[in-house]
Chain A
């Protein structure tokens, strides 16, 4: 008996990558990757700023340029064909500018391309830094939910990959965790160096604030997180339940809290990948979305996708796709559209003015005369001036949406389940297309290929 126990301990010690990991995180850590961009760094001497140093007027004299790989955040492989889920802000690296006052030089870093570099663990060894192994391209980007879905398309040099089945993490229901359950955060925070950092904390509930909706629906945790964890994984019972995205500001009093997007927020990106691009990726069960803790629109709404092709040429066509309540005519929807657009522009102009933009700048940006800007700023929106449908729409009670179909098809958001709606496809020269729809259940409905005929 004693010999047997010794043998087991010996065997476990042979596998350091596994023996070191807690029980409720996956034994295979290779799906947890680091993501970066190929970045061009430019060094300018003697830059010129405005008086307050807020605005670069002239970057100065370019003295040096180089290209290097810059890790920017974390990501997680979620499907055998190499789909990576991360944050949009990790993918969308903005130009980074740094002024070194002592040397009077300006450093400007900007990504060279949209392709991301995927740093993966070698031999599942969590104690070694990941190395650039693949490249990935964006498949669907959801700026609103801060989600980016990437697909591995080649090796680190962009070369063709052999048939690989990628190790991936299974998605878990973020709405069935019990309060105080353990959550692990896996990622590559900069302060943790180049190796993977796994921290542990508790599930502290979902953020709710009646006064501030900005964080509504986030998962709260006390697990340690830092810049670089963005786009990584929050794991509960070996299941990928969320995407670490934000932390409380250090200036706020009290201990730090971390905020995690429920993985269901990636639904739009996943639906686009599957329905529009035909990739395989895990889909989120409807029962998860219907949870009372889900505050996202996906609880009540579904997505519609489809592809428009010309039956005469068998090629995709660009067209306007309008979806609206069935009990309104296209003309009524059009009036609504015009009025809503006007109100949006009106609001934008008024808000810009309130935020300090001058009337002259507004006039120039919107191609208006000064007098018209003056008049716009005086307009007060009153319900009696607006059509009832528009009021309902602005209150979120009237369904109408518009999308444009391109080569990859169309994607319509927020179609309410259980409502009678109508889809219109409009393009000059082609026969109009309309179809009644009612989505009783389901996350999305793929309308497949819609053939349009030339007149």
Chain B
């Protein structure tokens, strides 16, 4: 009877999720939710809640022999939301700054998925479950673990969807529905796995320390692998990547749930339910594992945030610059006309889009170290609006900084108005070479761009003989 309920409600859940997405595909594939203000937020929330509601119904039917109290279900959902708002999302964005480096390379994406994204999500799932719902008296049969875990995951999914969709008014209704559906499927799936393992621990009276570690490792692996496969679908250039991703999510999550369910059935063959009292206690292995994961993630995050390494032993310089410093700029300004001169060479150059600035490092051969430098020679503007000199220090080497600004006539829509460009040129004269670091941006992007530029300068290391 229980198996029949599971399969029937599971099938219905999948059907409803598919119907939900198909309806939004038919009616919302070209329609963006671009109305302004709070109305958009309300509608967005309404759409995102639909798949959560379908998912909750599935677990309600699955668990209806002895349903969990509604207040506990609601609490689990709110706890999941809170874990995402106060824990997982701020940790990913404010501490690890994943937005700056996660997509910089395949390697960083893989390590970021396994050591930052997944531990942040699963870690908070674990904390909420272990210390909030695991000790509950109402958690009195193995299936309850899956139910609570899935509902906590549902709360996570809701916030994750809102976070990724709220700043994208141009996204179509279909993409909103896709995001909401796949997020609820995967996060609830991961939550239910964590809950299933805790259920096993509770009713098999096993060593919880190992089982909670198992729950966290399983969650991290499942979420990490999913993220990587899903990313692969989107970078492979498939025309119907949203549908392929949705089918992948359905198959992936269904497989995991079916596996867990049939494993759990062995446990519940006796059809018992019992009240086991447990205390909330610390699982040192799990906590240590999570800390190690996040530390490893932190190392890669720091590396990712520093950017790409440039190293030239002959010139004796190394530094990091942003991965996103991409070339192929539309307009080319000959900031460095001496590229082909034997005495000057560009080491790194490119433009950053957000914030917009250009960076360049060139090196000149120094024929006469005793000859004083003509600093103004290095400002590629002949009529600056302002010019300020000051002394600087880059990795212990003294140098000179020139702040300058100039008006640039641009071929833009607002072409009648010149743009004020602000620039900084830093000159470090070594025994044999003169290094010129150049930074330029529009006045609007100066402060943000300048802090990124300083980040590059802070990473400069000279190889001193």
- Contact partner of B341 (CB less than 8 A), chosen from A315, A366, A375, A450, is A375
Collect the chain A residues with CB atoms within 8 Å of residue B29's CB: 314
Collect the chain A residues with CB atoms within 8 Å of residue B330's CB: 320, 404
- Contact partner of A313 (CB less than 8 A), chosen from B171, B234, B326, B338, is B171
Collect the chain B residues with CB atoms within 8 Å of residue A314's CB: 29-30, 172
- Most chain A Cβ neighbours within 10 Å, of B29, B170, B237, B342: B237
Collect the chain A residues with CB atoms within 8 Å of residue B380's CB: 367-369, 372
B327 on interface, CB distance cutoff 8 Å = yes
- Contact partner of B241 (CB less than 8 A), chosen from A311, A315, A369, A376, is A311
- Contact partner of B337 (CB less than 8 A), chosen from A315, A339, A346, A435, is A346
Which residue of B is nearest A450, CB measured? B237
Minimal beta-carbon separation of B277 from chain A (angstroms): 47
| A26-B242 Cα distance, complex, nearest whole Å | 54
- What number of residue pairs across chains A and B have CB atoms under 8 A from each other? 111
A432 on interface, CB distance cutoff 8 Å = yes
* 0 or 1 for each of B29-60: is its CB under 8 Å from A? (1 = yes): 11010000000000000000000000000000
Residue pair A372, B337 in contact (C-beta under 8 Å):
yes
Residue pair B346, A338 in contact (C-beta under 8 Å):
yes
Residue pair B175, A312 in contact (C-beta under 8 Å):
yes
Residue pair B32, A339 in contact (C-beta under 8 Å):
no
Contacts A322-B328, A372-B380, A431-B234; A343 near B340 (Cβ below 8 A): yes
Which residue of A is nearest B406, CB measured? A367
Residue pair B168, A379 in contact (C-beta under 8 Å):
no
B265 on interface, CB distance cutoff 8 Å = no
Collect the chain B residues with CB atoms within 8 Å of residue A455's CB: 103
| A375-B408 Cα distance, complex, nearest whole Å | 23
Range of interface residues on chain A? Answer: 35 or more
| A404-B329 Cα distance, complex, nearest whole Å | 10
Contacts A428-B353, A433-B237, A453-B234; A342 near B339 (Cβ below 8 A): yes
B332 on interface, CB distance cutoff 8 Å = yes
8 Å CB contacts to B: which residues of A361-380? 363-364, 366-372, 375-376, 379
B270 on interface, CB distance cutoff 8 Å = no
Which residue of A is nearest B353, CB measured? A428
B396 on interface, CB distance cutoff 8 Å = no
B372 on interface, CB distance cutoff 8 Å = no
Q: Does more than half of chain A's interface fall in helix, strand or loop, or is it mixed?
A: mixed
Residue pair B340, A386 in contact (C-beta under 8 Å):
yes
Collect the chain B residues with CB atoms within 8 Å of residue A346's CB: 334, 337, 340
Residue pair B340, A312 in contact (C-beta under 8 Å):
no
Residue pair B354, A367 in contact (C-beta under 8 Å):
no
A334 on interface, CB distance cutoff 8 Å = yes
Residue pair A381, B175 in contact (C-beta under 8 Å):
no
A310 on interface, CB distance cutoff 8 Å = yes
Minimal beta-carbon separation of B48 from chain A (angstroms): 15
- Give me 16 A-to-B residue pairs in the complex whose CB atoms sit less than 8 angstroms apart, sorted by A's number: A314-B30, A320-B328, A320-B330, A334-B328, A337-B327, A338-B349, A339-B339, A342-B340, A343-B340, A346-B334, A346-B340, A367-B380, A367-B381, A385-B340, A451-B237, A451-B239
The residues of B with any CB-CB pair to A shorter than 8 Å are: 29-30, 32, 103, 168, 170-172, 175, 234-235, 237, 239, 241-242, 324, 326-328, 330, 332-334, 336-342, 346, 349, 353-354, 376-377, 379-383, 406, 408
The residues of A with any CB-CB pair to B shorter than 8 Å are: 310-315, 320, 322, 334, 337-339, 341-343, 345-346, 349, 363-364, 366-372, 375-376, 379, 381, 385-386, 402, 404, 426, 428-429, 431-435, 450-451, 453-455
